[in-house]
Structure 1
Amino acid sequence: MEKYIRPGKVWLDTDGKRIQAHGGSVLYREGTYYWYGENKDHTTGKDNIWSWGVRCYASKDLINWRDLGLIIQPNLKDDDSPLNPKSMMDRPHIIYNEQTQKYVCWLKIQNLSGSQSETVLVADSILGPYEIVRQGLRPLGMSAGDFDLAVAPDGKAYYYFERVHSETICADLTDDYTNLTGFYSTHFPQVGPPYVREGTTHFSRQGKQYLITSGTTGYLPNPSEIAIAGTWHGPFEILDNPHRNDTSQTSFHSQVSCVFKVAGKKDLYIACADRWVPEHMDYAYPKYRDAFRDMFTGKGSKNLTDNFISDLKVNTSVSDYVWLPLEFEKEGVYLDWLDEWSPADYE
């Protein structure tokens, strides 16, 4: 049994295999933590396999994780299915609906309809089986990118997402959490990448709403931002880059995908991040910031993408994780680097 979380190191499950739960989240139910995400064990960069379903793990201590298998299986028979390994499915997020007693999962799909869309599934158990109830959903008629789902104490649910290469949207979900009501608010408008915010991650603390976002630079990491609001729809005030003392401006070479509060702890919130390209630890964001800007505006060469970060050429089967505790101080919220740490050391 392992005793510590070691950010950036290879994380193995209790069977000795790499954990494959990328771009996902952690859900706590009846004394057990469930960590789920994209199964990337087939995504070697040698073919067009983007992900191989959604895999889930269980733990009592947040350190040692038991593989529960695929809770959403890939569809190998239908090339047009959003669950086909080539459909570029990612960022699974699951919330529980107390009213319907259903687990509701939203998936981002990148390549089915020419723009990014959502697929929505429901199940009676977090482990499935999940049934698709909507696919090809373009929220509010928009191309929707990275997102997070959140449920308020009164049961109302919200969908925070990147309007691709434009701004961040907060939209109300319907009572069954499978669609949008049409009410929404807009935040963090930008002229384009790499400044547009993606990697949208929400959490609540002491009645305040927080969003952690990253810039738009593909698999190469960039500086995160954290913002705070007094209501679910904001307005949000940008505080700072939470990764202080990170001279490479790469968010410790990672991208946050979820934040959750540890049950039974006074004030322990963990930020879970993916280190998508551990082979590029020499990369520093400031060196490439202008190149990213020029690439997306058509002013520069595409070589940055073609030769360095082409999404379909990256071997994400060996991507690692960076889990760190959030530090709440009067002037901001921060993530400080720790080589190893344990939730048991917190009150």
Structure 2
Amino acid sequence: MKPQSNQLYPILFTFFCASLMVVLMGCNSKKEEPQGFQNFNPGQSWPDADSVHINAHGGGILFHDNTYYWFGEYKSEHTSSAQVGVNCYSSTDLYNWKPEGVALPVSDSIGSDIETGCVMERPKVIYNAKTQQFVLYFHLELKGKGYSAARVGIAVSDKVTGPYTYLRSLRPNAGFWPQNMTEAQKNSSLTMADFSDWWTDDWMAAVHDGLFIRRDFEGGQMSRDMTLFVDDDGKAYHIYSSEENLTLHIAELSDDYLSYTGKYIRVAPGGHNEAPAIFKKDGKYFMITSGCTGWDPNAARLFTAESIWGPWEQHPNPCVGDDADLTFHSQSTYILPVAGKDDAFIFMADRWTPKKPIEASYIWLPIQFENGLPVLKWMDQWNLSIFDESNEL
């Protein structure tokens, strides 16, 4: 029976109230949905979108098409040798990361450079705008050879997340002298056979003068801990620990980023630096490194230069406060410029756990500046809003 008009109003009012209640409940429910991470929590577990601790150690980040891509070593439970390969994650806000899978897997082919059980460390990816390819470099040690190979591995992909095609490994700059090595150093008659003991004053002086450069001249220079850097003009550089981890090299890459031009320099000969991380601000180059103490942390080192080709000047440890002499129990891996923010840089480091490598955590801290030099201070929690104010202390 059709209701009379005076009966219709209570029914409509009841229906309106019920509908409003559903809408309000829906709004409240939406507000209570988890929004993911909104802060960085250095040293804490960092779950990805699947609620699994991010597995991208010794890594670096590429910003491409408004998305950040984090590449790093896939660490296993009980070994630091490569059992999986180079892992990849993506993010649009730097706090929350989505797994993109393995960008470069190890090979199951016996004798392959990247055979399961080799060492694949510190992977970095850069984009070549000319070739429209993504280029991956990493420190490679051959399976069963310890750390004697000291090679760089190179892979390439047409897609940022991969899969990457492994091209080759090598020791860089075979047959080329460093730009900043003198003729007297090149022509020195001293060889390894002249030294029965290492670490003596005479031996260190010979190292400074290029003892290992001459030893490895024909076969190429050793390449271990490394990073990549693309300058404002599109030129790319491979920065790596060489000469038995005693000296850093900065080497210019070819236009396609797949080989070397033969132009390179030595930085801090005999200084025993590894874990290089580099950035550029106001036309000046900054590089943070660590000493060489295995898996144990040590004090960070800071270098600056007006040109990528040096000279590079060393400064005191950029870390300040408690545990500054241990870089907050971590080791540098990369320095990330934050997209869309002027002079905003994030220091990325790893807190290694060699007894259970997969549990290694990440130390990300904002780089602040004092008297024009980077400063790193510990923060239990922080977010990108710190860059909305002046980062000069």
Normalised TM-score (structure 1): 0.83
1:317-328 equivalences in 2 (<5 Å)? 317-328=358-369
**Where does residue 61 of structure 1 map in the other structure?**
93
1:44 aligned counterpart, secondary structure: coil
- How far has the Cα of 1:6 moved from its partner? 0.2
Match of 1:199 in 2: 275
Question: 2:236 maps to what in 1?
Answer: 157
- Which residue is 2:73 aligned to? 38
Counterpart Cα distance in 1 of 2:136 and 2:250:
17
Residue aligned with 2:299, SS: coil
Distance (whole Å) between structure 2 residues aligned to residue 43 and residue 74 of structure 1: 17
Partners of 1:170 and 1:137 lie apart in 2 by: 13
Shift of 1:239: 1.8
Question: 1:168 is matched with which residue?
Answer: 248
2:126 to 84, 87, 95: 95
8 A Cα contact 2:171 2:223, kept in partner: no
Report the equivalent of 2:356. 315
Runs of 4+ in 1 over 6 A off after TM superposition: none
Matched position secondary structure for 2:159? coil
Distance 1:51 1:37 in 2: 13
Aligned length: 304
**C-alpha displacement at 1:207, in angstroms?**
0.8
Percentage of identical aligned residues: 35
1:333 to 2:371 alignment: no
Distance 1:145 1:49, change over 3 A: closer
Identify the residue that residue 300 of structure 2 maps to in structure 1: 224
CA drift of 1:139 comes to 4.2
Q: By how many angstroms is 1:265 displaced?
A: 1.3
1:50-72 deviation per Cα after TM superposition (whole angstroms, max 9, x unaligned): 45211111111111111111111
Aligned CA-pair RMSD: 1.7
Separation in 2 of the partners of 1:150 and 1:143? 19
Deviation at 1:187, TM superposition (A): 1.0
1:43 to partner: Cα distance = 4.0
Supply the distance in 1 between the matched residues of 2:288 and 2:324 (Cα, whole angstroms). 18
Q: CA offsets per residue over residues 27-60 of structure 1, 9 Å max, x none?
A: 11121111110111x2424xx7445211111111
- Provide Cα deviations, 1:84-113, integer angstroms capped at 9, x if missing partner: 231111110111111111111111112357
From 13, 32, 51, the equivalent of 1:16 is: 51
Tell me, in whole angstroms, the C-alpha distance in 2 between the residues paired with 1:51 and 1:226.
Answer: 34
Residue 314 of structure 1 deviates from its aligned partner by 3.1
- Give TM-score scaled by structure 2 length: 0.74
Q: Aligned to 1:344, what secondary structure does the other structure show?
A: helix
The aligned counterpart of 1:118 is 152
The answer for the alignment partner of 1:286 in structure 2 is: none
CA distance in 2, matches of 1:28, 1:231: 24
Q: Deviations over 1:258-296 (max 9, x none)?
A: 00111111221001110002xxxxxxxxxxxxxxxxxxx
2:258, 2:169 → 1: CA distance? 11
Q: Distance in 1 between matches of 2:37 and 2:226?
A: 32
Task: Give the letter for the 2:364 counterpart.
Answer: W
**Deviation, structure 1 residue 345:** 4.1
Does 1:146 pair with 2:178? no
Q: Does 1:208 align with 2:284?
A: yes
Bigger Cα Rg: 2
Q: Matches of 1:345 and 1:337 in 2, distance apart?
A: 13
Q: Which amino acid aligns with 2:166?
A: I
**Which is worse superposed, 323-332 or 131-140?**
131-140
Contact 1:43 1:51 in 2 (8 A): no
Query: Aligned residue for 2:11?
Result: none
Are residues 51 and 230 of structure 1, via their aligned partners in 2, closer, same or farther at CA, if it must alter by over 3 Å? farther
- Check conservation: 2:323, 2:329, Cα contact below 8 A: no
SS at 1:144's partner residue? coil
State the alpha-carbon separation in 1 of the partners of residues 165 and 326 from structure 2. 37
* Equivalence for 1:301: none
- The separation in 1 between residues aligned to 2:331 and 2:227, in whole angstroms, is 14
**Contact 2:82 2:117 (8 Å CA) reproduced:** yes
How far, CA to CA, are the matches of 2:133 and 2:88 in structure 1? 17
Moved more, 50-59 or 204-213: 50-59
- Secondary structure of 1:346's match? helix
Q: 1:255 aligned to 2:331?
A: yes
Could you say which residue in structure 1 is the equivalent of 2:161?
127
| More deviation, 127-136/171-180 | 127-136
Aligned 8 A contact 1:43 1:49 in 2? no
What is the CA–CA distance in structure 2 between the aligned matches of 1:139 and 1:314, rounded to whole Å?
A: 36
Structure 1 residue aligned with 2:269:
189
Structure 1, gaps ≥5 residues long:
278-312
Quote the offset at 1:129 in angstroms: 2.1
Q: 1:43 to 1:109 in 2, by over 3 A?
A: farther
In structure 2, what residue type is equivalent to 1:171?
A
Separation in 2 of the partners of 1:50 and 1:130? 16
Residues of 2 paired with 1:144 and 1:49: CA distance?
Answer: 17
User: Matched residue of 1:249: which SS?
Assistant: helix
